[in-house]
Amino acid sequence: MSDTMSKDTKPWYMLAPLAMVIVLAIGWSAFWYYAFTQSQQRYAAWEARAKASGLSLECAKQSWGGYPFRVEMGCDAAQFSRVGGGTDVVLTSRNITALTQVYSPGLVVIQFTGPSNLDINTSEGGGFAIAANHDPALASVLFSEDTPAETSLLIENLQGTLKGAKQAKAGALTATKLNLHGRFADPPQNGKVAYDIAAIADKFSYDGPVRDPIDGGPITFGSFVFSAKLDEMPFPWPARLNETARVWATNTGKLQIHQLDLTRAPIRASMSGELVADAQGKLNGELAGKIVNLDKMLDRLAASGKLSRGEASLAKNMFRMLSGNKDNAAVSTSLAVKQSKIYLGPFKVGKFAPLF
């Protein structure tokens, strides 16, 4: 009789794992649907707040999905706009796909499929326009209480044009990789916040109306690495970019540059330091570090007229002594910035435009 009971109950044991899988699948589907509807509601709430402040995202076709592990929103022929406050921003892309994992709704990953266009225009007649083809670009945004606390952007194989609002023609813009990153260094307090910012670029080139400050040619470099802390920034930002810079200067804000590495063969530079802005928007500060093949840089400065031949020869002799008369040696030096003018030792080699 026991054998008979064993035979009768055996199929139930075999079906138990399947039943557990079905129950888990139903439970997960319910959880996903809850997360899905919550994401749609958060997006609708954001859309209402955004429109009230001049922001909008328009799609020729919008779709939702992502089951079973994520929530995904697709937007074909996307146009993101921010209008008003003296600065208008319009970003268009062939397709934008935003997704978030159901177990981490605060992190949103966005893919942009090119070609893409970015137009920024200010009421003062400033701004610029970028039109570019690129590999699918990725952006990530980490939210904290509906505020973007950390953002990153990666663009690869960028080819396009960059044109300033007051420039007669566009310049060619290329980069094999462009990676931008920003985050709150500290939580916003009393209308101020500090940002950690970073940028990495490989094989960057711009050939247009704005020229290289060293030799007057196209702006090119093999690699570029930058990281810094920008403190005393207004939060939230004013609508106008120049007003943001003005408030930062009034707050006695600092740009603390932790790393600035630049390679433009055969010249390599690695520097760090601090910059501030005065009431007229002019930069002041100092960057210290090392430059390899500084004599080649001085030759380019002389060729472009930034230095006279005599000044270049004097500077080469001075820095050669500092390097121990070794060719291609790394020379410890500094770049001083005074009233937006750039000095290499006692020699003026360039200048920055005022921030406002």
Q: Tens of pLDDT along 229-286?
A: 999 999 888 767 788 999 999 999 999 999 999 999 899 999 999 999 999 999 999 9
Whether the pLDDT of residue 15 is over 80: the answer is no
Q: What is the pLDDT of residue 1?
A: 45
Mind giving me the DSSP string for 86-103?
TEEEEEEEEEEEEEEETT
| Cα 200 to Cα 347: distance, rounded to the nearest angstrom | 29
pLDDT in tens, 96-150: 999 998 888 889 999 999 999 999 888 777 789 999 999 999 999 998 776 778 9
pLDDT digits (tens, 9 = 90+) for 244-259: 999 999 999 999 999 9
Q: Widest CA span of the chain, in angstroms?
A: 112
Q: Is the pLDDT of residue 178 over 70?
A: yes
Would the pLDDT of 292 be above 70? yes
- Look at residue 18 and tell me whether its pLDDT is greater than 60: yes
Q: What is the mean pLDDT of residues 292-316?
A: 89
DSSP-derived 3-state class of residue 39: helix
User: Which residues, at least 6 apart from 345, have a Cβ–Cβ distance to it below 8 Å?
Assistant: 315, 318, 333, 334
Residue 165's pLDDT is: 79
Domain residue ranges of the chain, discontinuous segments joined by +:
1-139, 185-356
For the stretch 21-72, pLDDT in tens is: 888 989 989 999 998 998 899 889 888 888 888 889 999 999 999 999 999 9
What pLDDT does 166 receive? 78
